């Protein structure tokens, strides 16, 4: 179907976030939002006041982690048991509020933090200190550095240049976005920021190939938007700095093993897997689920790609500020990749980069140009405070032990079964949970607890689980990029579920295969236990 040449579909300004239609909540989402608050209150009251949880009332100090045992010895059995029950009640209530979005997520985090203090689960010092967690600082600094790329126009110039240079046909267009997403993920830790940069570009490309959304959906448009959604998330899984949830997971693992989980370690294990999954997703989407007919493989608007070239030309010649931004970020990336050699943490490296970027006369960005989403950081602070509470009470390990005892799974449970259960739980939890940070906070400590119970290396179970955090593309509520791209109306709920669920299954199977092959080669999973 030919698109009207006189339409304004090729104007990139029409695809800015503020101009996209606001998605109306479904009846189910509205109902969940309405019942979320009373349901959370009821859950808290039942667990805190009425539920008799035997494994929390009769705690065996010998089964606690070393750090939790110190707290146990200091507080005594009764107070320690009370802390665990209170934490479980607070966690359940917060989880309900986060899932239903009955109130803003950042507000839930603030309530969670003060609730942990008032119920004496955490001292005030530890509860409030999480806003200064080094991962929080890395999040803030990453937003400063990402703002540098956006404010100077480097990110947009690179994306436009790559599409204009290499996007000659439908196949090369898809592969161009693969490269663009992978490169941007090295520098930009916010998946929403990447989606914001790329959305106007791939929307115009979709129009060039005859897809304007709504009644004019076609398989090229479905694939282009869904592939970008998948790539935005999965390319982030390739690097520990790819998202705040990755950084949180790395912090939890590092705290459990007592040593740093380096940028290079994460990239070496996760990047090849991410790249393979992106290639598989391209094949599954364009060749099987939404097979692109011959007539959709060629541009429907003559000279349509020229519009993108015009946008590139508007940027003019590369500016000195852009060159400085590229040098700053290339230096940061170089230090991140070689962190195993010099031992400087990613946070310290980002600190130096942000200082240079903001330095008067020397730098390239002003504070007013920096876009830091403080509501997201407050939400993350709540998650980190919850993690500190888990460490104080050892609730994940106690719960894991109770569940495995109830299931009758003894110490002879094979590693492969534990690996499949944990990676499967993390993968398919994306169908329920909205927050990547919350999934990291819930499942990484569980994996650490399981590894400790059965005597396996913590990294062997916790790291593969952490590498599955970014699989949040099946349903619109799974992540902010998913919600944003769903608003483009280039695909239906059925479309995204069909493609997303297939890729979830493939991702889980690949994780299992990697656990028996590549991860063993790297020394992550033990040899000879599958």
Longest dimension (CA), the chain: 77
Rounded distance, CA 230 to CA 55, Å? 41
pLDDT in tens, the chain (530 residues): 334 443 455 455 555 555 555 556 667 778 888 999 999 999 999 999 998 888 887 787 777 777 777 788 887 888 888 899 999 999 899 888 877 878 988 899 899 999 999 999 999 999 999 888 777 887 788 788 878 877 888 878 888 888 888 877 888 889 999 998 998 888 777 787 788 778 887 888 888 887 777 777 889 999 999 999 999 999 999 998 888 788 888 888 887 887 778 889 999 999 999 999 999 999 999 999 999 988 888 777 666 677 778 878 888 899 999 999 989 988 988 998 898 888 888 889 989 999 999 998 888 888 888 877 787 788 778 877 887 888 888 887 788 778 877 877 777 889 999 999 999 999 999 887 767 877 887 889 889 888 888 889 999 999 999 999 999 999 887 777 888 888 888 888 899 999 999 999 999 999 999 999 999 999 999 986 55
Q: Residue ranges of the domains in the chain? A: 133-150+315-372
Contact 270, 125 (CB under 8 A): no
Q: Which residue has the tokens 């009251």?
A: 45
Rounded distance, CA 307 to CA 314, Å? 11
Residues recorded for the chain: 530
List of long-range contacts for 437-440, beta carbons under 8 Å, 24+ apart:
437/244, 437/245, 437/248, 437/379, 437/380, 437/383, 438/95, 438/98, 438/383, 439/245, 439/469, 440/245, 440/246, 440/248, 440/249, 440/252, 440/383, 440/466, 440/469
- Record the tokens describing residue 93, joined without a space: 């209530």
User: Smallest Cα–Cα separation from 452: which of 227, 270, 257?
Assistant: 257
In terms of Cβ atoms closer than 10 Å to its own Cβ (0-12, 13-18, 19+), residue 283 is exposed
Rounded distance, CA 369 to CA 8, Å? 29
Contact 209, 221 (CB under 8 A): yes
Q: State phi, psi for 401 to the nearest 5 degrees.
A: -60, -40
Q: Which residue has the tokens 């230090």?
A: 335
């Amino acid at each position: 179907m030919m698109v009207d040449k006189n339409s304004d579909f090729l104007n990139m300004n029409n695809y800015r976030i503020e101009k996209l239609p606001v998605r109306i909540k479904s009846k189910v989402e509205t109902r969940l939002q309405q019942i979320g608050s009373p349901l959370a209150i009821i859950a808290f009251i039942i667990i805190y006041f009425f539920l008799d949880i035997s494994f929390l009332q009769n705690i065996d100090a010998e089964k606690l982690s070393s750090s939790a045992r110190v707290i146990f010895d200091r507080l005594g059995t009764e107070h320690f048991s009370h802390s665990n029950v209170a934490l479980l009640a607070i966690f359940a209530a917060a989880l309900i509020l986060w899932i239903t979005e009955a109130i803003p997520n950042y507000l839930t985090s603030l309530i969670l933090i003060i609730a942990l203090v008032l119920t004496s689960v955490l001292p005030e010092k530890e509860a409030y200190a999480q806003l200064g967690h080094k991962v929080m600082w890395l999040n803030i600094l990453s937003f400063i550095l990402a703002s540098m790329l956006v404010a100077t126009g480097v990110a947009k110039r690179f994306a436009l240049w790559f599409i204009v240079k290499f996007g000659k046909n439908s196949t090369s267009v898809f592969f161009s976005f693969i490269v663009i997403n992978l490169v941007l993920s090295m520098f930009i830790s916010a998946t929403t920021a990447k989606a914001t940069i790329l959305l106007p570009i791939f929307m115009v490309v979709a129009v060039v190939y005859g897809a304007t959304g709504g009644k004019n959906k076609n398989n090229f448009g479905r694939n282009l938007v869904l592939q970008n959604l998948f790539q935005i998330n999965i390319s982030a899984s390739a690097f520990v700095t790819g998202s705040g949830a990755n950084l949180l997971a790395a912090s939890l693992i590092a705290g459990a093993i007592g040593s740093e989980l380096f940028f290079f370690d994460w990239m070496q294990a996760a990047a090849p897997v991410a790249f393979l999954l992106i290639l598989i997703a391209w094949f599954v989407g364009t060749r099987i689920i939404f097979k692109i007919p011959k007539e959709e493989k060629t541009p429907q608007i003559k000279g349509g790609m020229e519009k993108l070239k015009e946008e590139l030309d508007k940027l003019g010649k590369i500016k000195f500020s852009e060159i400085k931004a590229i040098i700053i970020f290339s230096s940061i990336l170089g230090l991140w990749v070689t962190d195993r050699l010099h031992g400087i943490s990613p946070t310290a490296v980002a600190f130096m980069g942000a200082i240079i970027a903001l330095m008067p006369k020397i730098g390239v960005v002003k504070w007013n140009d920096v876009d830091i989403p403080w509501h997201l950081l407050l939400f993350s602070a709540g998650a980190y405070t919850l993690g500190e509470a888990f460490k104080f009470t050892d609730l994940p390990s106690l719960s894991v032990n109770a569940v495995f005892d109830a299931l009758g799974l003894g110490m002879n449970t094979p590693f492969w079964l534990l690996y499949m259960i944990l990676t499967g739980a993390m993968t398919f939890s994306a169908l329920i949970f909205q927050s990547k940070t919350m999934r990291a906070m819930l499942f990484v400590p569980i994996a650490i607890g399981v590894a400790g119970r059965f005597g396996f290396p913590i990294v062997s179970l916790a790291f593969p689980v952490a590498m599955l955090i970014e699989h949040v593309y099946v349903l619109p509520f799974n992540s902010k990029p998913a919600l944003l791209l769903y608003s483009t109306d280039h695909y239906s709920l059925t479309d995204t579920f069909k493609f997303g669920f297939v890729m979830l299954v493939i991702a889980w199977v690949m994780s299992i295969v990697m656990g028996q092959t590549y991860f063993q080669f790297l020394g992550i999973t033990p040899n000879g236990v599958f």
